[in-house]
Chain A
Amino acid sequence: MEPVLTKYVREPNSFELDFFLTHDGYQGLKKALAMQPNDVIEMVKASGLRGRGGAGFPTGMKWQFVDKKTPNPRYIACNADESEPGTFKDHLLMERNPHLMFEGCLIGCWAIGAKVAYIYIRGEFYHVQKILEDQLAKAYAKGYAGKNVMGSGWDCDIVLHRGAGAYEAGEETALIESLEGKRAQPRIKPPFPAVSGLYNCPTAVNNVETLCNLPSILTNGAEWFARLGPEKNGGPKLFCISGHVKKPGVYEASMNTTLQDLIFNYAGGIRDGHRLKAVIPGGSSVPILMPDQLDVPASFDAVQKAGSMLGSAGIIAMDETTCMVWVAKNLMHFYAHESCGKCTPCREGGDWLYKILDRIERGEGEVRDLDLLTSVSNNIAGKTLCAFGDAAATPPLTTLKNFRAEYEAHIREGRCPIPADWRAGTALAAAH
C-alpha cells in the first residue's frame, strides 16, 4: 500500500505549511466546507473509519451522537496524550505532519458544528508542541484557522493545551477533566462526552491519527478509504514496532497486513541470534500473543479474534532473553504508578499486584501467590469506572495464562530461571 499519512515524513521540511500546501494540504477541508456538515458525517460513516486511539469505535457514529440541538457550544477534543506504552505514532504524525492534524480538527469541527478544537498534548511532548505552536501561527496567518477559514466565512479556533504527565489523561473523560483544570480522573458514563463533555457541552474526543485520516477521506472518497483494508477495517494504519526487533519504528500499512509480516518484514525480524518469544500487539494494555498466533491480519477484528486487541497498534516484540514475570512486573509498576486513584480496586489492587510480582520476580514468592495474583486481578478488571482497570489486570493475567511454568520456576528455584547475563536489559540487550 502506498503510504497516505506518512507519505512525506522523510522530507526534511514536511512539517512546514508551505510544503503542506504544495502537497494537497487543506484540500480535504476545502471539500468539507463546500458540503453540508451532515453530509460530511455521512461520508465518514460510509468510509468506516474507526478510532485509532485504542477502542476502534466508528468515528462517524461518534459524531452522529453529538447533540446538535443544544444551545451550548460544541467542541472537538483532539487526544494527543499518547501515553500507552509501546505507542509513538501520534508523536511522528505531529512532529512531521502537524497540518494534517490541524486539517482533521477543522473538518471535525465543521462536521459537528464546533467552533473550537482543543488539542490535548502530553506534557512530555513539549519539543513537538513548539513545532505545533509555530505551524499553528502560520496556519492562522494564512487563513487556514481562526476567522473566516479558507474564505468560507466560518470561524474556528484551534487551541494547544499542554498536559503535565498522567497516562490516565488519555482516557476521554479524564482528558476532559484535565482540560477543565482538574486531576485527570474519569467520569461516570453515561452521559457520554457526545452529550455532555467539556464544560458540560457536547464534545467529540478523537485521537490524532483518527483525525489525520479525515483529509484523505474527503479528497479520495469513502469507498477508496474502505477498500484499503479488510471489511470494517478500512484505511491506512500506523503500526509502532518496538522491543527486540532489528528496525524498530513506525510503519504504515493496510490492516490486511499480518502481524507476522509487520514484525518479520517491516521491522526486519528479531535481532540476530535470537528468536521471538511473545508479542504484545496493541500497547501494554492488551493480552500477549504467542509466535504461532501471528499469522492474522493486523486489523481490529482479526486481532480480537486471535485473543488480543489491536488497541493503539503498539507492537512490542520480545525474544527468549525476556523473563515474563519481569515483563508483568515492569508493566504493573506502570499501572500502579499511573492509577488515578479514583476507584478503589485499581488504586489499591494495582499496588498489591506490583508488590506480589516484585517478590515473585526476586525469588521470594510462594505458590499461593499465583492464586492471589489471579484473584486480585479479577477483582480489578471490570470493576472500575474506566477501562484502565481492565488494562491493569492484563499483564499478570496474560503472562500467567501463557507462561505459568515460568512463574512456577521462579517460586520453585527461588530465582529467575533465565541466566542473569543474558536476561533482557543486560549489556547483551543493549547491543541491539
Chain B
Amino acid sequence: MSFHPLMPYGEGWHKSDRIVAAEGQPFAFTPDRVRQLEEICGKYPPDRRKSAVLAALYFVQEQQGYLTANAMRHVAEFLRITPAEVEDVATYYVMFYRAPVGRYVLQVCRTLSCALGGAERVVEALSEKLGIKVGETDASGMFTLMEFECLGACDRAPVVMVNNEYWHERLTPENCSKFVDDIKVRGEAALSGCYLKVEN
C-alpha cells in the first residue's frame, strides 16, 4: 500500500510517536514561581493567560527537571485551559523534556554549517566518550546527549548548547573528551559561552 505510486510504504515509513509523559509526583508551583508566573500572565490580555504556557512549562522544568502528567495538569489549572492544550504544546517544542534527563544535557548542533565544521564527528566523539547513543543518558545520570538543529551561531561551528541555556563554541572532535571531563569538574563554568567576541 502506498500514498505515492513510486513509494514503498511499509514498516517504519510512517512517523508517529505520541508519548504522554508519566504521571510523576504530585505537583504544585512554589509560591515564588506562582508570583512570577502571575506577573508573566499580566503581560498578556486578561483572557489570554494561555500565552504564558511556554513560560509555565519552563518553570516546571526548572522546578522538577522534566514534564509529568501531574505537572501539566497543574499548569492547565493555573492557566485555566485544558490539560490537552498543555500536552499539545509540550509535545511540540523540542526544548521540553518528557522524561528524566541527565544533569547536563549536551545539545549538539548538527545542521549544515556545523556539520561542515565537523559536527558529525563531534557527536561520534561525545557518544564514544560517554558510552551512549544520541537521545540517551549515561549510567551515572550526569550526561544526556542530544542533537539539535541550527542554533543560530553558525560562524562559531560546531556549537553545543547545554541545558537549554549555556553555550560552547567551536568544539572539535579532538577536544570532546576534555570537554566532558571539564564539565564534570567545573560544571557550566567549563563552557566557552556565546557572548560574542566580535572578531571580524
Q: List the A residue with the shortest CB-CB distance to B150.
A: A85
Report if A360 contacts B (CB, 8 A): no
Q: Answer whether residue B102 sits at the interface, using C-beta atoms and an 8 A cutoff.
A: no
What residues on A are CB-neighbors of B45 within 8 Å? 73, 199
The interface of chain B, by Cβ under 8 A from chain A, is 3-4, 6-7, 13-15, 43-45, 48, 50-55, 57-58, 79, 81, 85, 88-89, 92-96, 110-113, 115-121, 148-157, 161, 164-167, 172-174, 193-196, 198-200
- Type the 1/0 row for A280-292, where 1 means its CB is closer than 8 Å to any CB of B: 1000100000000
Residue from B7, B13, B85, B151 in contact with A376 in the complex, judged by beta carbons closer than 8 Å: B7
Q: Which residues of B contact A240 (CB under 8 A)?
A: 154-155
Residue in A124, A127, A243 whose beta carbon sits within 8 Å of that of B113 in the complex: A243
Instruction: Tell me the dominant secondary structure on chain A's binding face.
Output: mixed
The proximity string for A residues 400-429 relative to B, scoring 1 for CB distances below 8 Å and 0 otherwise, is: 000000000000000000000000111101
Answer whether A248 and B155 are a contact pair too, CB < 8 Å, given A86-B113, A95-B196, A127-B194: yes
**Chain B positions within 8 Å of A327 at CB level:** 112
A181 adjacent to B52 (CB under 8 Å): yes
Query: Which residues of the other chain, A, contact B121 by a CB distance below 8 angstroms?
Result: 425-427, 430
Of A41-49, A56-64, A157-165, the segment with at least 4 beta carbons within 8 Å of chain B is A157-165
Residue contact A159 to B198, C-beta cutoff 8 Å: no
Question: If the complex has contacts A243-B116, A425-B119, are A165 and B93 also in contact, measured as CB distance less than 8 A?
Answer: yes
Residues of A within 8 A of B (CB): 9-10, 73, 82-88, 90-92, 95-96, 122-127, 157, 159, 161-167, 178-184, 199, 240-244, 247-251, 280, 284, 314, 316, 318, 322, 327, 330-331, 333-334, 337-338, 340, 348, 351-352, 355, 368, 371-372, 375-376, 379, 424-427, 429-430, 432
Q: Find chain B residues with CB under 8 A from A88 CB.
A: 152-155
The smallest beta-carbon distance between A175 and chain B, in angstroms, is 12
List 8 contacting pairs A-B, 8 Å CB cutoff, sorted by A: A87-B152, A92-B198, A127-B165, A314-B154, A352-B7, A427-B174, A429-B117, A430-B121
Q: Which 4 A-B pairs have the closest CB atoms?
A: A164-B93, A181-B50, A248-B155, A165-B94
